[in-house]
Amino acid sequence: MLDDATEIHPLFEGAPQTTEFKKLRKRIVRNAREAIELYGMLPNADAPRQKWLVCLSGGKDSYTLLAVLHELQWRGLLPVDLLACNLDQGQPGFPATILPEFLGKMNVPHRIEYQDTYSIVMDKIPKGRTFCALCSRLRRGNLYRIAREEGCSAVVLGHHRDDILETFFMNLFHGGRLATMPPKLLNEEGDLLVLRPLAHVAEVDCERFSAAMNYPIIPCDLCGSQDGLQRQQVKAILDGWEKNAPGRRQIMFKALTNARPSHLLDPKLFDFVRLAPKNQEF
């Protein structure tokens, strides 16, 4: 990747020139392209040009997402328009000027939306209970509305490989089902796609990338999220497994792409009733 003045998006200006960072950047871009192609995220070649709403929280993952998508667009590999969007949910102490100043400096088309969902969550959720589920639903509803208002065909989120794994184990341990965040999803209304181009990207790569680029990270603790949440507990379990057996996360993630319905127990996915030797009729 050439990084002279004519060959780089402003989001990559000042990028470290070390071999280590170049390998990191190349790996993240390659993994994102892989997911975009594998899960058919791009519109058909003969379809009208589309616009994606790129959701930006100010965390390491969403900055990585924003940079990678603009890198691919800059290289002519992502033939869609991109609109960055931050939903300011009214959390006390939220640094409201950071993202608009950053996005303006980077020449990134964007929309900043203020909706005080924080007060709703605080009113509805009893003290000591987890805020995240209701907060997420309210955020998602607003993002869908914004996408429609802006004429977007997709809402693009920064969930990475580790988010997907953690969600799988949360559903396994607490929900009694085998499910996770899919890389590509059609919303319930059927008018918007939800895309996760970082589905194959490791969290540690997002962390290293955003730190190396010195992006202005906004921590996700402004709402008073409680310690000991289910996701944090699952993350600790996965961290322990990875420490004892490096590479285990990637193996588990690969398993999610290699499901065998005949070797599970869901009769809705596999017709066990009609399974019989060739000489036996039903």
Q: SS3 of 153, please? A: coil
Number of domains in the chain: 1
Tens-place pLDDT, residues 193-229: 999 999 999 999 999 999 999 999 987 664 545 444 7
Query: How confident is the model at residue 133, as a pLDDT?
Result: 75
Question: Is the residue at 39 inside a domain?
Answer: yes
Question: Is the residue at 199 inside a domain?
Answer: yes
Question: Would you tell me how many other CB atoms lie within 10 Å of the CB of residue 77?
Answer: 14
Query: How confident is the model at residue 120, as a pLDDT?
Result: 81
Q: What is the DSSP letter of 12?
A: G
- Of residues 282 and 130, the one with the higher pLDDT is 130
Query: How confident is the model at residue 3, as a pLDDT?
Result: 47
Query: How confident is the model at residue 171, as a pLDDT?
Result: 93
CATH, residue 39: 3.40.50.620
Question: Is the residue at 251 inside a domain?
Answer: yes
Quick check: 189 and 140 in contact, CB under 8 A? no
Q: Give me the domain span that covers residue 254.
A: 10-263
- Given pLDDT bands bounded at 50, 70 and 90, which one contains residue 125? confident
Question: Is the residue at 269 inside a domain?
Answer: no
Q: Judge whether residue 5 has pLDDT over 70.
A: no
Q: Judge whether residue 1 has pLDDT over 70.
A: no
Query: How confident is the model at residue 224, as a pLDDT?
Result: 47
- Given pLDDT bands bounded at 50, 70 and 90, which one contains residue 7? low
Query: How confident is the model at residue 33, as a pLDDT?
Result: 97
> Positive or negative CA dihedral for 169, 173, 174, 176?
positive
Query: How confident is the model at residue 177, as a pLDDT?
Result: 94
Percent pLDDT > 70 in the chain is 91
Q: What is the mean pLDDT of residues 235-252?
A: 95
Question: Is the residue at 158 inside a domain?
Answer: yes
How far is the C-alpha of 185 from the C-alpha of 214, rounded, in Å?
32
Q: Judge whether residue 169 has pLDDT over 80.
A: yes
Q: What is the mean pLDDT of residues 224-248?
A: 83
Q: What is the mean pLDDT of residues 170-183?
A: 94
Question: Is the residue at 280 inside a domain?
Answer: no
The region of weakest confidence among 129-133, 246-250, 263-267 is 129-133
How far is the C-alpha of 235 from the C-alpha of 111, rounded, in Å?
32
What pTM was estimated for this model as a whole? 0.90
Q: Torsion angle, CA of 181/182/185/187, rounded to 10 degrees?
A: -20
Residues near 192 by Cβ (< 8 Å), separated by ≥ 6? 144, 147, 148, 152, 153, 154, 155, 186
Question: Is the residue at 74 inside a domain?
Answer: yes
Question: Is the residue at 60 inside a domain?
Answer: yes
Q: Judge whether residue 121 has pLDDT over 50.
A: yes
Q: What is the mean pLDDT of residues 90-111?
A: 91
Q: What is the mean pLDDT of the chain?
A: 89
